[in-house]
Amino acid sequence: MTFARLLCLALLPGPALAQSVPFDAGAMDAATFDGGDLPDGQSALTVKVQTLLDRAGTSPGVIDGWKGGMSTTALKAFERRHDLPVDGVLDEEAWQEMGGPEAEPIAQSYTITEEDASGLVDAIPEDYAERAEMDRLAYLRVTEKLAERFHMAEDFVIALNGGGTFDPGRTITVVDPGQDVDTTVARIEVDKPNQRVTGLNADGTIVVDYPVTVGSAQVPSPSGTHQVTAVAIEPTYTYRPDRNFQQGDNDEVLVLPPGPNNPVGRVWIDLSKETYGLHGWAHPSELFTAASHGCVRMTNWDATELAHLVSQGVTVEFLE
């Protein structure tokens, strides 16, 4: 059964050319807060803070070491969750609350396996009719697959490890984002102005919080309160040009196969408002760079976590 009926169009850019990073694994583990905000640019401290936020159930989106919008909204969400002053600026209280001084190692070694290098596709065409002929919209690269597994930007994985080939048997450095949250979400709030999705339990306590892309003023996300009607893992995507957008010259209904590079990623959380839902997305670093066509986009890993915490009937409220 197909639940992926959302208004969205995903492009498939490759990673940026690998650049060196100004720190190594040891610096990420040793990074400490000495006052002031996160450093401008890319830093070991920002990697550490992003990772600790992720472990605490407040997703920074991609872990990449760059100070930016997703990290700022994650800090705000963390501060709100822990009754701290909400300004999105790292301070000693937030650093202590996230366990910065006693944090477990941020970096870990990982040896690439044969399975990591299997099931890839050589290319994914832009044309939806050609995509519909494929068996699966799988990963294109080992680094793309590993970046999602460890919640990292793909170009950060490449740069942190000095580029080169990522073949089975190679041991690389990645971050340890921790385990998925294991709880139950009874209510979801979609904060459209701040581009965050919050999951609360039956007592009203925040248990998870994620960055998202929402619609624009021209093609807005829903308003009001709705319910989760179904959850699909590894969904197909039904392209309906008469109801959604038109891609290229395709004017007939097409069914695109599942996979992480499907337009709705690895998960579709269907809402009672027809054609709308929360879903994964193949381009996590771009969550804050453009509006959706009304959909609520999440990273594939955040959408997967949330999908396992919700069930039919969960309330979803869109906040203006």
Domain-by-domain residue ranges, the chain? 25-102, 108-175, 187-319
Residues, the chain: 320
Alpha helices in the chain (DSSP H): 25-30, 44-55, 69-81, 92-97, 128-132, 142-149, 154-160, 300-307
Categorize the per-residue pLDDT at 244 as very low, low, confident or very high, splitting at 50, 70 and 90: confident
pTM of the model: 0.92
Triad 33, 147, 228: Cα angle to 5°: 95
- Residues 155 and 166: beta-carbon distance below 8 Å: no
For residue 248, the model assigns a pLDDT of 85
Spatial distance between the Cα atoms of 293 and 304, rounded to a whole number of angstroms = 21
* Lowest-pLDDT choice from 112-121, 150-159, 208-217, 286-295: 286-295
* Residues acting as catalytic residues: 279, 295
At 115, the pLDDT band (50, 70, 90 cuts) reads very high
Q: What value does the mean pLDDT take over residues 50-68?
A: 98
Q: Is the pLDDT of residue 4 over 90?
A: no
Mean pLDDT of the chain: 93
Least confident of 3-7, 29-33, 127-131, 306-310: 3-7
Strands 296-297 and 277-279: parallel
Confidence of residue 2 (pLDDT cuts 50, 70, 90): very low
Pull the structure tokens for residue 173. 């450095």
Helix (H) or strand (E) holding 69: helix 69-81
- Structure-token pair, residue 204: 């009203």
- What distance in Å separates the CA atoms of residue 305 and residue 55, rounded to the nearest whole number? 13
CATH 3.40.50.970 fits 187-319, yes or no: no
CATH T-level topology, domain 108-175: Membrane-bound Lytic Murein Transglycosylase D; Chain A (3.10.350)
Mean pLDDT of 82-91: 97
CA distances from 194 to 179, 198, 249, 258 (A): 25, 11, 35, 30
Is 60 exceeded by the pLDDT of residue 16?
no
Q: Which CATH superfamily is domain 25-102 in?
A: PGBD-like superfamily/PGBD (1.10.101.10)
Higher per-residue confidence, 247 vs 48:
48
| 108-175 and 25-102 share a CATH fold | no
